[in-house]
């Protein structure tokens, strides 16, 4: 009698578990289907400068600035977008500038800058994981005790599993900027767009903080950026995006919700691509 009772309870428990799993699975699939219809880009690469991790004019890491970036990344990850992030290290030092100001060789200074990007990446990873966002840090310079080495197929697999992939260490080579790294990784990973988060809301004809008459462009071609010497990205990065037909969207990272707006296809900032000048 007791045996039959236990058996019936077990069957009931299994039935409830399967029904619950099916219900949650259906809801999850519905949510994924809903989010999939909302996003304009399935996979993107986000470039965050080192200055994005601190207050304007400050140095090092600022907790609230990191949380601002992390909240936006969490929001985008929840939409079902596969997100890779290339992190700069300018909140600690810039290799070229540091070499000019000291007796340190440019190559050494650049490697120091790569280490700075790892510091930022590890900090961002911890903040994201504190928000229950699955995250992996992959570095172009090996630091196996703290992060994985960058391997293209491994990075793609992490993205396919819904993890945010933070790419540290630049290209692993001196004399290349993290903008060039962002263009390279976007090309390698098959990103639909490169999102460049800055402290201003797009590309201007001049520094808008110094020139009130500076014009903001809504659209630019790659050739416009190169020909006019617009300093939003270095020439190598722009050329690589042009060769691989990867649009670049320049926007204000400091305004919360902007990453989601770009992912959903809203027209903000400046679009750089296979287009004629507009705006």
Range of the domain at 155: 40-273
Classify 77 as helix, strand or coil: helix
Give the model confidence (pLDDT) of 186-238 as tens digits.
999 999 999 999 988 999 988 888 888 888 999 999 999 999 989 899 999 99
> pLDDT tens for residues 251-261?
999 899 999 99
- Same-domain check for residues 166 and 229: yes
Indicate the range of 27-31, 171-175, 257-261 predicted with least confidence.
Answer: 27-31
Q: State which H helix or E strand residue 142 sits in.
A: none
CATH at 216: 3.40.1160.10
Q: Which residue do the tokens 């999850």 mark?
A: 28
Q: Counting every residue, how long is the chain?
A: 279
Same domain, 119 and 255: yes
Whether residues 55 and 141 fall in one domain: yes
Asked whether residue 254 is domain-assigned, the answer is yes
Apex CA 109: angle with CA 118 and CA 83, to 5°? Answer: 30
Residues 176 and 248 in one domain: yes
Residue 136 in any domain: the answer is yes
In the numeric block, the tokens 């500076």 are attached to 214
In a domain, 265, yes or no: yes
φ, ψ of residue 168 to 5 degrees: the values are: -110, 170
Residues 153 and 140 in one domain: yes
Q: Tell whether 26 and 52 lie within a shared domain.
A: no
pLDDT exceeds cutoff 70 at 20: no
Q: Are 167 and 218 contained in the same domain? A: yes
Q: Are 88 and 50 in contact (CB under 8 A)?
A: yes
DSSP state of 278: B
165 domain residue, yes or no: yes
Strand 203-204 to 216-217 pairing: antiparallel
Q: Are the beta carbons of 237 and 225 closer than 8 angstroms?
A: no
pLDDT of residue 14: 42
pTM for this one?
A: 0.83
pLDDT digits (tens, 9 = 90+) for 98-152: 888 898 999 999 999 999 999 999 999 999 999 999 999 999 999 999 999 999 9
Same domain for 18 and 55 = no
205 vs 23, higher pLDDT:
205
52 and 28 inside one domain: no
* Domain annotation covers residue 279: no
Pairwise pLDDT comparison (183 vs 97), residue with the higher score? 183
The total number of structural domains that make up the chain: 2
Which pLDDT score is estimated for 279?
Answer: 40
Average pLDDT over the chain, rounded to an integer: 87
- CB-neighbour burial class of residue 135 (10 A; exposed 0-12, middle 13-18, buried 19+): buried
If asked whether residues 145 and 175 sit together in one domain, one would say yes
- CB hemisphere CA count around 174 (13 angstroms): 11
d(CA 93, CA 278): 35
Alpha-carbon Rg of the chain, whole angstroms? Answer: 22
pLDDT of residue 33 exceeding 80, the answer is no
112 and 31 within one domain: no
Is 161 buried (19+), middle (13-18) or exposed (0-12) by CB count in 10 A?
Answer: exposed
Residues 49 and 31 in one domain: no
């Amino acid at each position: 009698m007791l045996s039959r009772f236990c058996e019936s309870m077990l069957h009931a428990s299994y039935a409830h578990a399967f029904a619950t799993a099916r219900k949650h699975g259906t809801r999850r699939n519905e949510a994924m289907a809903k989010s999939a219809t909302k996003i304009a880009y399935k996979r993107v690469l986000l470039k965050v400068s080192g200055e994005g991790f601190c207050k304007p004019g400050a140095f090092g890491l600022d907790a609230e600035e990191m949380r601002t970036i992390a909240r936006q990344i969490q929001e985008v990850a929840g939409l079902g977008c596969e997100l890779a992030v290339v992190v700069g290290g300018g909140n600690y030092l810039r290799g070229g500038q540091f070499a000019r100001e000291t007796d340190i060789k440019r190559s050494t200074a650049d490697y120091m800058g790569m280490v700075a990007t790892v510091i930022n990446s590890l900090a961002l990873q911890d903040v994201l994981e504190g928000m229950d966002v699955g995250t992996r840090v992959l570095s172009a310079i090996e630091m196996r005790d703290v992060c994985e080495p960058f391997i293209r197929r491994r990075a793609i697999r992490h993205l396919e599993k819904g993890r945010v992939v933070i790419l540290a260490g630049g290209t692993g080579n001196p004399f290349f900027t993290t903008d060039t790294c962002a263009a390279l990784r976007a090309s390698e990973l098959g990103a639909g767009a490169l999102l460049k988060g800055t402290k201003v809301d797009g590309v201007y004809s001049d520094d808008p903080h110094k020139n009130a008459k500076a014009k903001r462009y809504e659209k630019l071609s790659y050739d416009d950026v190169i020909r006019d010497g617009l300093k939003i990205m270095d020439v190598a990065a722009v050329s690589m995006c042009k060769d691989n037909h990867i649009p670049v969207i320049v926007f204000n990272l400091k305004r919360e919700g902007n990453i989601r707006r770009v992912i959903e296809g809203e027209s903000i900032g400046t679009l750089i691509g296979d287009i004629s000048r507009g705006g």
